[in-house]
């Protein structure tokens, strides 16, 4: 688990599957079609910060502040008591929002640097901005500047409406905001009856180990959104697979792998909180490092054999120069004492000379 401090979103159940909350100075995008409860997410997120001593900035591109606070009160969130004290609104539309991004927000960030109180920011919704700017490059530049500016105040939550075509997982009109955000959750609404017809799915969450299921959620007056999640792993099962990791780490150590690989294995062990065995993941990782099962066994046997057969003191080849090597009682001269070619061969002129030489 990351040691970085997390900021709770206040969305009941969501923080359980994003390591306790969002990181500071990041953007969380809430994507969904009409009726999924994006504004409720925004109000609940903002209200939690206000109740815990933070300031809040609500940037609305559709509804005026009075209507937002009235709807919040219907959900059980009394924003009126914070209005113009800890809670501030910016209400802008379409192309006017570009001026807000270029001038007003940077001035607000500069003024806020003198205050130690964290400011929680909401943009609800971003959709009119994306519709007002048709050019994709210009849209990307404005959104990049907007996100960069607001993240200097604190954690930011942005809602945006999608209009997905049949068969699309996520609407094409929200791809740029999703790409530019640090985290994104997708809300879906299926009017098909049953106990739950709304569901949340985490699309991305940078530097965060997050849940990968589809989580149903409901609206409860006085609480807001309640996401039905369960912890990835119970506290008593956190160390359930230590023996699997320890075996993998020992095997890697026996293979004399790079020290960085061992460090990575230890890190994975410390952060493994999934409810299933890591064995398959470790096997795939070993294979990616060229350490499949067959190679592992052969390498281990080879390495152990080399260690057992190697003398404690290495043999100095230099000690053999000028001497002889004994092989099965046959004396051989080393190459450096054999006669060289420039000494020539013994010349024999006649058979009688050869006989004399032999005698």
The answer to whether 252 and 268 have CB atoms below 8 angstroms apart is no
| pLDDT tens track for 194-240 | 555 899 999 999 999 899 999 999 898 889 999 998 766 666 677 88
pLDDT at residue 179 tops 90: yes
pLDDT at residue 341 tops 50: no
Give the model's pLDDT for residue 131: 84
| pLDDT tens track for 237-288 | 778 899 999 999 999 898 888 899 999 999 999 888 777 889 999 988 988 8
CB atoms within 10 A of CB 228: 14
pLDDT at residue 154 tops 70: yes
pTM for the model: 0.72
pLDDT at residue 6 tops 80: yes
Pairing of strands 119-124, 22-23: unpaired
pLDDT at residue 163 tops 90: no
Pairing of strands 6-7, 22-23: antiparallel
């Amino acid at each position: 688990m990351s040691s970085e401090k997390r900021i709770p979103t206040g969305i009941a159940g969501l923080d359980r599957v994003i390591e306790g909350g969002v990181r500071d100075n990041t953007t969380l995008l809430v994507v969904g079609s009409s009726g999924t409860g994006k504004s409720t997410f925004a109000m609940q997120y903002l209200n939690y910060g206000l109740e815990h001593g933070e300031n809040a900035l609500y940037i609305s591109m559709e509804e005026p502040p009075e209507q937002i606070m009235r709807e919040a009160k219907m959900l059980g969130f009394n924003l009126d008591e914070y209005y113009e004290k800890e809670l501030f609104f910016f209400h802008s539309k379409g192309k006017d929002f570009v001026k807000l991004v270029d001038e007003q927000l940077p001035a607000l960030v500069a003024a806020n640097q003198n205050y130690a109180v964290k400011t929680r920011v909401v943009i609800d919704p971003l959709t009119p901005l994306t519709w007002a700017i048709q050019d994709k490059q210009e849209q990307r530049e404005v959104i990049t500047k907007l996100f960069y500016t607001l993240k200097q105040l604190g954690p930011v939550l942005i809602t945006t409406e999608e209009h997905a075509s049949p068969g699309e997982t996520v609407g094409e009109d929200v791809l740029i905001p999703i790409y530019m955000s640090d985290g994104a959750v997708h809300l879906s609404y299926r009017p098909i009856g049953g106990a739950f017809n709304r569901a949340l799915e985490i699309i991305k969450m940078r530097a965060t180990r997050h849940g990968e299921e589809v989580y149903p959620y409901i609206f409860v007056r006085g609480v807001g959104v309640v996401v039905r999640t369960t912890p990835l792993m119970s506290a008593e099962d956190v160390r359930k697979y230590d023996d699997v990791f320890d075996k993998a780490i020992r095997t890697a150590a026996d293979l004399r792998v790079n020290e960085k690989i061992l460090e990575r294995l230890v890190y994975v062990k410390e952060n493994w909180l999934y409810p299933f065995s890591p064995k398959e993941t470790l096997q795939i990782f070993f294979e990616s490092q060229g350490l499949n099962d067959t190679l592992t066994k052969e390498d281990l046997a080879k390495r152990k054999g080399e260690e057992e057969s190697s003398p404690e003191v290495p043999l100095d080849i230099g000690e053999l120069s000028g001497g002889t090597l004994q092989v099965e009682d046959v004396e051989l001269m080393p190459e450096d004492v054999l006669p060289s070619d420039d000494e020539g061969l013994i010349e024999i002129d006649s058979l009688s000379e050869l006989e004399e030489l032999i005698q």
